[in-house]
Amino acid sequence: MSTQPQAKVVTLEKLTELQRNPSCIRNCCILAHVDHGKTTLADSLIASNGIISKRLAGTLRYMDSREDEQQRGITMKASSITLKYSNATREHLINLIDSPGHVDFSSEVSTAVRLCDGAVVIVDVVEGVCPQTHAVLRQIWQGKITPLLVINKMDRLITELNLTPQDAYYRLSKLLEEVNCITAGMNQSDVLTAMEQEEEHKTNYELEDQDENEDIVYDTTAIDDDDESEKAKIYFAPENNNVIFASAIDGWAFTIETFAKFFASKLGFKVESLKKTLWGNYYVNYKQRKIFNNAWKKGKKPLFVQLILENIWSVYESASSKNKEQMTKICNSLGVKLSLRDTQYKDPRPALVSVMSQWLPISDTVLSAVCQIVPPPNSLSDDRVLSLFTTDNKTYENWPEATKRLKESFTKCSASSNEPVIVYVSKMVPYDRKELPENRKIQMSSDEMAIKREEVIRKMNEVNLENEHVADCAETLNSKTESTPEPSVQFEDNCGSTEFVAFARIFSGTLRKGQEIFVLGPKHDPSSASQAELENYVRDSQNEGGIETTGLGVHALRVTIDNVYVLMGRELELVDAVPAGNILGISGLSKCIVKSATVSSTLLCPAFTALNESSLGIIRVAVNTPKSSDLGSLIKALKLLNQADTNVQVLLQETGEHVLLTAGELHLERCLKDLEEFAQVPIIASDPIVPYRETIILPPKLDRANERIVNSKKADIYAQVSEPLFSLKFSAKPLPVSIVQLLLENSVALKNLDRLLRQELELGDLIPEAKSELELFIDKFKTTLEEEGSFWGKFKDKIWSLGPNRVGANVLINLCNNYDRPSIFDLAQGNASFDWLRECDSSISHGFQLATASGPLAEEPLIGVAVFVHEWNVHSSEQHLQANKEVHDADSVNHESNSGAGSSVSCFTAMSGKLISSSRETIRKAIQCQPCRLMEAMYKCDITVSSEKLGAVYAVLNRRRGLIIQEDMTDDLTAYHIEASLPVEESFGFVSEMRLKTSGRAYPQLIFSHWAVIQEDPSWVPTTEEEKTLYGDVADTENFALKSVTKIRKRKGLSTHFKVVESAEKQRTLSKKK
Ligand SMILES: Nc1nc2c(ncn2[C@@H]2O[C@H](COP(=O)(O)OP(=O)(O)OP(=O)(O)O)[C@@H](O)[C@H]2O)c(=O)[nH]1
Ligand SMILES: [Mg+2]
């Protein structure tokens, strides 16, 4: 297939001219679940600008510029293109971002949402609302941008499901209801108010109607006053023109407005009347020339069915039956033309597409709705601007006056040189340096080439060179490089040939090539100094270079912009400057921006909050090179990958291994491909490593043979240690599930709690939302403990620490009689002073962090363990020093030189170190006193599949230890929606196997959902008579948990002869009772 673009209809000059007028700019992204048709729709819009041929729209997938995107038919990166759209009254510039729908790349969606003011949400009418539809609606709501709904693949209702227009209408209404339900859930309070208002309005309206005529709603003259209430923004409602019905593949789309205009003159109704009644329970009485409601009740067809769907259905029917006469009639009545070429094919589709796309051109419908619904960049809502100003620590109100004044620059969106430049970079995109426009070879026109050729030949003849030589030289001119701008940086081999272009939005001012500007670090805080002071500060520190991190809260770096570009999908267009309101590319920032950043000409600008944190890197691989000499290239490539990918994490482990953490199998594949490209050397990746967790459970009541276990001798539950300096006693218990859940779900509140406890900030420094979130969490934590019964309730003020990393889902609880320690919540909320803490208090919590970071089974982090400190005795000062002396005498030759105060200090240092290691060991022993279990990561798996392929789906799930959670039939009873859980360990190759076994009908969507306990005891061996009878003396059946533990330990180079001897289960003296 040729990908040669047609001659461009829209010139760069035109685009740059439009860029200067913010009121005609729209920044919009396309969001949806995977495969719902984003890139296909983008193709049609791009074709309208002549960038690709209209015939290839839908098959070319222009925005999928990567080779792997084209091969797999899946978008993996968000990319932007600038388009022009003109309607009858004015010209518009639309910056359109196509985003990936696959959950592995959801962070790319965040990068798109941050730069846009509106979003086109696509829903496949057959698949309906899917998990990523929920996710993107939430992102739109959080980003406070304006959505537009496209119900796509309408053709499937006709050609695949063979629905009647009535059934199709019913299905569309249900779908719309479902989408609105999700939005309503997020906007609950706003919607309730809007609904109340609407209800009030409706009652009055109906009463008025009843006075005159029982149920007339509109006659040919009625025009309803436009009630642009807030609900218009919250709901998707066809009458508000924010719902588009489309078939991207067949190139058509319409809104209610399209048909209101189409039928207004034909039926003699006002456009406005039709706009209100074409969707809904209305029907027309042609004799009376009036529109009535209650169509269903009266057995009438609603207008939407009668005027819209039936007409579309009849075009499809005529085309598929190749009824030429009918087609000609349709063409005449619609005023469209069919070329001879379109009618020549055996396949009826070209003719159908030609008619439909002329009648209801998709690009016109979508682009005009975007221009109508999405706000221009110079009318950003207050809410949106304020949310941009809200960082982790501060809201708009907390900024100094000078910073607050920048809000006006956002709303003005002026390109004037007096306005500060404010740019947000949402990601860094790697380009081959040779492909950047300033370095690109340019194609000369044939005339230019002929002149040059003659010139060369003439010169060559002059010096009497050989003829063949002349031809060679002339040939080289076919692709002469542009002479003017020399590449600023020398090309290096391998990794050196990559240049990063920032994917950004300019909110204020004009960004120019060669401009000096500040890149603001995430911690940059303009509150503490004036602009002049800040600038002096940076100027003074210029000589030292680097990001400044002291004194005035300045975290900024002065840089020079290399070039600015207009983003054109796979291409970049070099321009001199980009004014406010546009999406742009910037080069020259790669040294100072890793993933995202704020760039501004003023240090008074706050650093906008970073995008949503990357998701849990659930699949990891260790990467290496076959030749050790290539390691340098690998390390450089890893740095580039970390910069280029918003969702990858690159770690260097203690073992020296380089590890990639990725969001899923597909993401992993893409990362490895990119890595190899960056490194230009072969890369070896280990088998994917899936993380595990460890936990403890309550001692089981039944053994493997289902016999009740009776412990005649109570197993020891305490672990203690007595050292010369101190003695410790711990025990462990599984935490209630509700508490574990609470801890896992409140990671942001826990991080803030930790910052308060480390005295990095005070409660007053938190922004109100963060503060109330933390307070809510603390309240909920305490009440949940109380709800779990009196045993847990009494510990609510005894929490010593959380772990691992002080934010995990394990809890350290203080039960020491002689140490009344304030709880972490009291300390964080300022109800208790840190002075109350006993010396070396943090060492115990440190030991707890270490113990919970690596469990006894496979050194994997723990979840759901409560550790109780029963005893912590510090021996008296004199004994203490004496003991310390003894320790030091034994340990150190130089000890005699230490005395007095010095000795006391070193004593505490020694005690602190010893306390950490002793508490770590003792806590581990206490944990081992309980039955230890492994936990595996689980995916939630959503599949929609037709009933005949249901068996195949079950078979694949069963083989991979999948569990069906829920199974529903779709509304039209043609397919099943299955929700299952699947161990991540079993997920490799799952999607391709499922597609293979269901002939591509089922596309499972995998999202990490939870950690599940593997109930099997890894240290189990048959002990009772019954167990031996059932399983043999040495257990013939495979112990799955043990197998997993051994596999992890082997991978980590740990001994595989581990033993958890202390387990209560194992120490029992077993006697049986029925
Ligand atoms: N029948 C039908 N198929 C469509 C329509 N639009 C898109 N498709 C098909 O749906 C599949 C997915 O289309 P894409 O445009 O790649 O979907 P996407 O939303 O960009 O997918 P991701 O980027 O991977 O999330 C392709 O096979 C398209 O041909 C439509 O209107 N009708
Ligand atoms: Mg796509």
Is the C-beta atom of 39 inside 6 A of ligand 1? yes
Angle at the Cα of 332 from the Cα atoms of 330 and 333, rounded to 5 degrees: 65
Name the nearest CA neighbour of 292 among 269, 261, 309, 311: 269
User: What's the sign of the alpha-carbon dihedral 632, 638, 643, 644?
Assistant: positive
User: What's the sign of the alpha-carbon dihedral 746, 752, 758, 759?
Assistant: negative
Q: What is the pLDDT of residues 834-845, one digit of tens each?
A: 887 777 888 999
Residue 578 has pLDDT above 90, yes or no: yes
| pLDDT of the residue at 341 | 72
- Average pLDDT, stretch 1019-1034? 70
Q: What is the pLDDT of residues 1029-1039, one digit of tens each?
A: 766 666 666 78
Is the C-beta atom of 101 inside 6 A of ligand 1? yes
Highest average pLDDT, of 338-347, 352-361, 889-898, comes from 352-361
Pair 58, 40: CB distance under 8 Å: yes
- Ligand 1 centre distance from Cα of residue 1003 (Å): 13
Residues 6+ apart with CB under 8 A from 190: 230, 234
User: What's the sign of the alpha-carbon dihedral 674, 675, 676, 679?
Assistant: positive
Is the C-beta atom of 34 inside 6 A of ligand 1? yes
Residue 470 has pLDDT above 60, yes or no: no
Q: What is the pLDDT of residues 945-962, one digit of tens each?
A: 888 888 999 999 999 999
- What's the CA gap between 380 and 374, in Å, rounded? 10
- What's the CA gap between 646 and 108, in Å, rounded? 7
Q: What is the pLDDT of residues 124-138, one digit of tens each?
A: 999 889 888 998 998
Q: Per-residue confidence at 583, pLDDT binned at 50, 70, 90?
A: very high
Name the nearest CA neighbour of 645 among 618, 668, 679: 668
Is the C-beta atom of 74 inside 6 A of ligand 1? yes
Name the nearest CA neighbour of 420 among 607, 609, 599, 610: 599
Backbone angles phi, psi at 245, to 5 degrees: -105, 125
Is the C-beta atom of 104 inside 6 A of ligand 1? no
Ligand closest to CA 253: 1
Residue 1069 has pLDDT above 70, yes or no: no
Range with the lowest mean pLDDT among 289-293, 494-498, 556-560, 716-720? 494-498
| pLDDT of the residue at 901 | 42
Is the C-beta atom of 33 inside 6 A of ligand 1? no
- Ligand 2 centre distance from Cα of residue 363 (Å): 17
Is the C-beta atom of 357 inside 6 A of ligand 1? no
- What's the CA gap between 130 and 32, in Å, rounded? 9
| pLDDT of the residue at 1050 | 87
Q: What is the pLDDT of residues 260-285, one digit of tens each?
A: 988 888 888 888 888 888 998 888 88
Backbone angles phi, psi at 868, to 5 degrees: -105, 130
Residue 900 has pLDDT above 70, yes or no: no
The verdict on pTM exceeding 0.75 is: yes
Nearest-CA residue for atom 30 of ligand 1: 153
Is the C-beta atom of 249 inside 6 A of ligand 1? yes
- What's the CA gap between 793 and 796, in Å, rounded? 6
Is the C-beta atom of 1032 inside 6 A of ligand 1? no
Substitution candidate for ligand 1 out of 40, 43, 122 with most atoms within 8 A of CB: 40
Residue 531 one-letter amino acid: Q
- What's the CA gap between 322 and 869, in Å, rounded? 83
Neighbours of 640 (CB within 10 A): 21
| pLDDT of the residue at 315 | 92
Q: What is the pLDDT of residues 854-893, one digit of tens each?
A: 999 999 999 999 999 999 988 755 555 555 555 555 544 4
Is the C-beta atom of 75 inside 6 A of ligand 1? yes
For every residue of 551-590, DSSP letters joined together read: TTT--EEEEE--EEEEEETTEEEEESEEETT-EEEEES-T
Nearest-CA residue for atom 11 of ligand 1: 35
Is the C-beta atom of 73 inside 6 A of ligand 1? yes
- Cite the DSSP H helix spans in 680-815: 737-745, 747-757, 768-787, 790-793
Q: What is the pLDDT of residues 401-447, one digit of tens each?
A: 888 888 889 888 999 988 999 999 999 999 988 888 888 665 555 66
Name the nearest CA neighbour of 235 among 202, 196, 187: 187
Q: Which helix (H) or strand (E) holds 199?
A: helix 188-212
Angle at the Cα of 158 from the Cα atoms of 154 and 160, rounded to 5 degrees: 95
Pair 600, 518: CB distance under 8 Å: yes
Both tokens of 152, joined, read 């796509």
- Ligand 2 centre distance from Cα of residue 48 (Å): 18
- Ligand 2 centre distance from Cα of residue 667 (Å): 15
Beta-bridge partner residues of 283: 292
- Average pLDDT, stretch 526-540? 60
Nearest-CA residue for atom 9 of ligand 1: 37
User: What is the signed CA dihedral for 948, 953, 954, 955, rounded to 10 degrees?
Assistant: 100
Nearest-CA residue for atom 7 of ligand 1: 37
Pair 738, 809: CB distance under 8 Å: no
Substitution candidate for ligand 1 out of 136, 150, 249, 250 with most atoms within 8 A of CB: 249
Please state, in angstroms and as integers, the Cα–Cα distance from residue 540 to each residue in 322, 534, 535, 544, following that order: 79, 10, 8, 8
Question: With pLDDT > 90 as the criterion, what percentage of the chain qualifies?
Answer: 39
| pLDDT of the residue at 852 | 95
- What's the CA gap between 377 and 328, in Å, rounded? 45
Q: What is the 3-state secondary structure (H, E, C) of 305-333?
A: HHHHHHHHHHHHHHHHCCCHHHHHHHHHH
> Is the backbone peptide bond immediately before 522 cis, with ω within 30 degrees of 0?
no
Is the C-beta atom of 156 inside 6 A of ligand 1? yes
Looking at every residue in the chain, the average pLDDT score rounds to 81
Q: What is the pLDDT of residues 968-1018, one digit of tens each?
A: 887 667 788 899 999 999 999 898 888 888 887 787 888 889 999 998 888
Name the nearest CA neighbour of 730 among 791, 802, 814: 814
Is the C-beta atom of 99 inside 6 A of ligand 1? no
- Ligand 2 centre distance from Cα of residue 1003 (Å): 15
Q: What is the pLDDT of residues 724-766, one digit of tens each?
A: 888 899 999 999 999 999 999 998 899 999 999 988 888 888 8
- What's the CA gap between 1013 and 101, in Å, rounded? 31
- Name the percent of the chain in helix, strand, coil, to the closest 5: 45, 20, 35
Both tokens of 703, joined, read 């053994």
Backbone angles phi, psi at 965, to 5 degrees: -95, -40
Highest average pLDDT, of 359-373, 387-401, 694-708, comes from 359-373
Beta-bridge partner residues of 424: 505, 598
